[in-house]
Amino acid sequence: MLFHSRNPHIYKKLVSYARYVRKKGISRIGMRLLFERVRWDYTIETNRKNEKFKINNNYAPYYARMIMENNPDLDGLFELRKIK
Predicted pLDDT of residue 46: 61
pTM confidence score:
0.85
Domain count, the chain: 1
Q: Is 17 inside a domain boundary?
A: yes
Q: Is 82 inside a domain boundary?
A: no
Q: Is 68 inside a domain boundary?
A: yes
CA 56 – CA 40 distance, rounded (Å): 14
Residue 37 lies in domain: 2-74
- Taking only the tens of pLDDT, the chain with its 84 residues reads 788 888 898 999 999 999 999 999 999 999 999 999 998 888 776 665 666 667 888 999 999 999 999 999 999 999 888 877
Predicted pLDDT of residue 16: 97
